[in-house]
A and B are shown apart, each in its own frame.
Chain A
Amino acid sequence: MNEKSEVTEFFSGLYTNNIKKITEGSSPHINSFREEALEMFTKLGVPNRKNESYKYTNLDLFFKHNYKTYFIPDESDFQKAEEFRCDVTDLDAHGVVLLNGFYPTINGKLRKLPGGITIGSLNEAAKQFPDLIEKHYGKYAGSKTDGLIHLNTAMAYDGVFIHVPRGSVLKKPVQVVNLVDSKEDTFSQHRNLIIVEENSEFTLIICDHTLSPQKFLTNAVTEIYVGENAHFDIIRVQNEHNNACKVTHTFIHQEKNSYASSNNITLHGGLVRNSTFHYLGGEGAECNSYGLYLSDKWQHIDNFVNIEHAFPNCTSNQLFKGVLDEMATGAFNGRIFVAPDAQGTLAYQKNNNILLTDDAKMDTKPQLEIYADDVKCSHGATVGQLDDDALFYMQSRGIDKRQSRLMLMFGFAHEVIQNIKVEALRERMDSLVMQRLKGELSRCASCMVKCG
């Protein structure tokens, strides 16, 4: 108990010491959440393994550490962010780069894209579009058990804001690159707000990178509103070094007849925890939640998915797959909640894992809470080795064992990758995954870090 409060006290102390600075630079509406959020955080603390949804993940490995943190960025810091170029050259996207959770100020804080779309700094947008912020900020993110969401609400200063007005269709995706780079071990938090209004179509790519070898801890919250009939895809590519910890909480709120998909691809990272909350808040809404994780050494990757069927005739589908090598560990927890009135619900869940060694370990847990009668629900989880029959079948056609294993693992992973609709990114992911499975380092060319 003392240990827990020690960690919690460290983060509460950050609040006390910095809240004046944070509040001064933020909009009143965002500030209005802070005090209560801190109370909640202090009460709940940093989740430990007694918390059911963190049962298999030991956050202390990264949270018990004396990080440096800063709240008001210096303009000169952004040079690196400006110089950053994604090496997926054919990826035709509108790019945004965040450095340690802050939106660069060099070229203005907000930008207009075709179709009246606005992208830019959340901190700035909160000042310029108070109506939108009041309507959506803090509405979708919340938790009775996870203190980290409240820690973010209490102290987050900036992040990405995107507003896609009704009827706007943007074929070109927006790519947000989150860079962490510092000479000291750094803790950062950012907060994103994505508003995709009715009848619009929008694709968001988020890439997480580490640029320096220091120990990093990131705690990010993303709130997403998907209006009636709108279509939204989010693809998250995580490629950080083994000394980095990334905790993400993504809340996707969907209205009637909307479609949303989320795809978390974790290629690398020391400790990664992705929580994805899908709220199907209108009849006929559909969501797909995908994830792929490839890990080795002592990496730990945990995906937590919560799907809430609050209205009738909604469809949800979860597909999470992982390949774990060496001493890597992982966890998957997929919760499906079907409200009493949510008749006609279709909800599917699949989690398949391949363990390449005896030391790798995976914990997988479905959690179904169904309060309606007319529901079609399925879930299945597997943890196993590569299929011997399939390996032999391939060998019997002249393909050697090593190559057969590679093709099988690649095929296994591709089932998730193939759901990426952005072709250049899909091809790039295929090739990064192939490199990773071959035992080569699948880092993006701009990555400075060698993960030894």
Chain B
Amino acid sequence: MLIIKDLKAAIAGKTILKGISLEVKSGEIHAIMGPNGSGKSTLAAVLAGRDFVEVTEGSVTYFGKDLLSMAPEDRSKEGIFLGFQYPIEIPGVSMVNFMKTAVNEHRKHKGLEPLSASDFLKLMRDKKELVEIDSKLANRSVNEGFSGGEKKKNEIFQMAMLEPKLAILDETDSGLDIDALRIVANGVNKLKRPDNSTIVITHYQRLLDYIVPDVVHVLYDGRIVKTSGKELALELEDKGYDWIKKEVDNQD
């Protein structure tokens, strides 16, 4: 599904990603862990098409296509979803209008007719239930005045509406209390299908109690320094990141 090869990227001339290679197959859940400043969010930004990140080397192939040459909206329509670490507030744009536009853009891309108003509202209702989001939130402007937990739930709600093939969840667990964390994780699990994949970017192991990864990568200083099964997450929880840092620094 997704093949990243020797990806290097810089922000304002400063190299952040220093050669990342990674393959995600259909149905897999990958966790990308790592200390602060290791480049986790930059990787998510590159995959979603944020233009302040400059890719200097390497390639990203998504279902055989060159992902890096695609506009952000086209990546979305091709099935990539980024769950934002800090979801953006958009005053004056209602959730309903926002999601209706997005869903219909996706449908147009697939050659489908736009949803009727009633079908759309039904879809909203169903998905809201699935992710246990408060009905009233959907009547407000996008993320405006939402609490931290509500914003994250809203990300999962949008993911449910758009049914991506590859979801990239950037620190979706940060700032969540245990109940919100459970709801968010449940949402992700309910949306899991054998043909879609998820990349969970997180600092803590906590979220991985609920979303069980197939593969865990550790990102440090712009490189993937360790890849293993889910037990690696537990080890990190136990011992922190220092031992990995030491290992890497010793190799250098």
CB within 8 Å of B: which residues of A?
387, 389-390, 392-401, 403-404, 407-408, 410-415
30 A-B residue pairings within 8 Å (CB atoms)? A389-B88, A390-B90, A392-B48, A393-B87, A394-B90, A394-B98, A394-B102, A395-B72, A396-B75, A396-B76, A396-B84, A397-B98, A397-B158, A398-B109, A398-B162, A399-B105, A400-B105, A401-B71, A401-B73, A403-B105, A404-B73, A407-B97, A408-B90, A408-B92, A408-B93, A411-B91, A411-B93, A411-B141, A412-B92, A414-B92
Q: Are A393 and B90 in contact (CB under 8 A)?
A: yes
- Measured CB to CB, the nearest residue on chain A to B83 is A396
Categorize the interface residue count of chain B: 20 to 34
In the complex, whether B101 has a CB less than 8 A from a CB of chain A is yes
State whether the Cβ of B152 lies closer than 8 Å to any Cβ in chain A.
no
Q: Which residues of A lie under 8 Å from residue B8 when comparing CB positions?
A: none
Report whether B92 and A399 are in contact in the complex, using a CB–CB cutoff of 8 Å.
Answer: no
Alpha-carbon distance between A408 and B98 when the two chains are bound, in angstroms: 10
- Interface contact tally, CB-CB below 8 A: 81
Chain A residue contacts of B75, Cβ below 8 A = 396
Inter-chain contacts of B158 with A (CB < 8 A): 397
Contacts of A415 in B (CB 8 A): 91-92
Residue of A nearest to B88 (CB): A393
| Contact with A400, one of B71, B90, B92 (Cβ below 8 angstroms) | B71
Question: Do A397 and B92 have beta carbons less than 8 Å apart?
Answer: no
Cβ of B206 under 8 Å from chain A: no
Whether B90 contacts A395 by the Cβ 8 Å rule is: no
Interface string of B58-102 (1 = CB under 8 A from A): 000000000000011101110001101001111111000111011
Q: In the docked arrangement, what's the CA distance between A408 and B90, Å?
A: 7
Judge if B106 is at the interface, Cβ distance under 8 Å.
yes
What is the CB-to-nearest-CB distance from B90 to chain A, in angstroms, rounded to a whole number? 5
Q: B-side interface residues toward A, CB under 8 Å?
A: 48-51, 71-73, 75-77, 81-82, 84, 87-93, 97-99, 101-102, 105-106, 109, 141-142, 158, 162
B72 to A396, Cβ gap below 8 A?
A: yes
Q: B84 — which chain A residues lie within 8 A by C-beta?
A: 393, 396
Closest Cβ–Cβ distance, residue A26 to chain B (whole Å)? 47
Could you list 12 further interchain pairs (A-B, Cβ under 8 angstroms) beyond the known A395-B71, A396-B84? A390-B88, A393-B88, A394-B93, A394-B98, A394-B102, A395-B49, A396-B49, A396-B81, A397-B73, A397-B98, A398-B105, A399-B101
Residues of chain A within 8 A (CB-CB) of B89 are 390
A397 and B90 contacting across the interface, CB-CB below 8 Å? no
Q: Is there an interface contact between A398 and B73, defined as CB atoms closer than 8 Å?
A: yes
- Smallest distance from the beta carbon of B85 to chain A beta carbons, Å? 12
A397 touches B71 (CB 8 A): no
CB-CB under 8 A from A400, the residues of chain B are 71, 73, 105
What's the minimum C-beta distance from A360 to chain B, rounded to whole angstroms? 20
CA distance A400 to B90 in the complex (A): 16
CB-based contact A397/B76 at 8 Å: yes
Distance from B82 Cβ to chain A, minimum over Cβ atoms (Å):
5
Given A393-B87, A393-B88, A411-B90, do A398 and B71 touch, yes or no (CB 8 Å)? no
Set of chain B residues within 8 Å of A413, measured between Cβ atoms: 92
A392 x B50 contact (CB < 8 A) = yes
Measured CB to CB, the closest approach of chain A to B42, in angstroms, equals 14
Q: Give complex CA distance A396, B90 in Å.
A: 14
Closest to B142 in A: A393
CB distance from B86 to the nearest CB of A (A): 9
Contact of A396 among B48, B97, B109 (CB under 8 A): B48
Evaluate contact between B93 and A395: CB separation under 8 angstroms. no
A387 to B143, CA, bound (A): 15
Contacts of B73 in A (CB 8 A): 395-401, 404
Residues in B with CB closer than 8 Å to A407 are 93, 97-98, 101
Residue among A389, A396, A400, A412 with most chain B CB within 10 A: A396
Q: How far is the CA of A412 from the CA of B142 in the complex (A)?
A: 13
User: Which of A401, A403, A404, A411 sits near B92, CB closer than 8 Å?
Assistant: A411
B71 neighbours in A (Cβ, 8 Å): 395, 400-401
Residue of A390, A392, A408, A412 near B72 (CB, 8 A) is A392
| Chain A residue, CB-CB nearest to B141 | A411
Closest CB in chain B relative to A437 CB, distance in Å:
12
Q: Which residues of A contact B105 (CB under 8 A)?
A: 398-400, 403
A412 touches B76 (CB 8 A): no
Are B82 and A396 in contact, CB atoms less than 8 angstroms apart? yes
> How many whole Å from B188's CB to the nearest CB in chain A?
17
Min Cβ gap B7→A in Å is 19
Contacts of A404 in B (CB 8 A): 73
CA distance A389 to B48 in the complex (A): 13
Q: Report the minimal beta-carbon distance from A438 to chain B, rounded to whole angstroms.
A: 14
Our pick among A387, A393, A397, A412 for the contact of B162 (Cβ within 8 Å) is A397
Task: Report the bound CA distance from A398 to B48 in whole Å.
Answer: 11
Q: State how many angstroms separate the Cβ of A412 from the closest Cβ of chain B.
A: 6
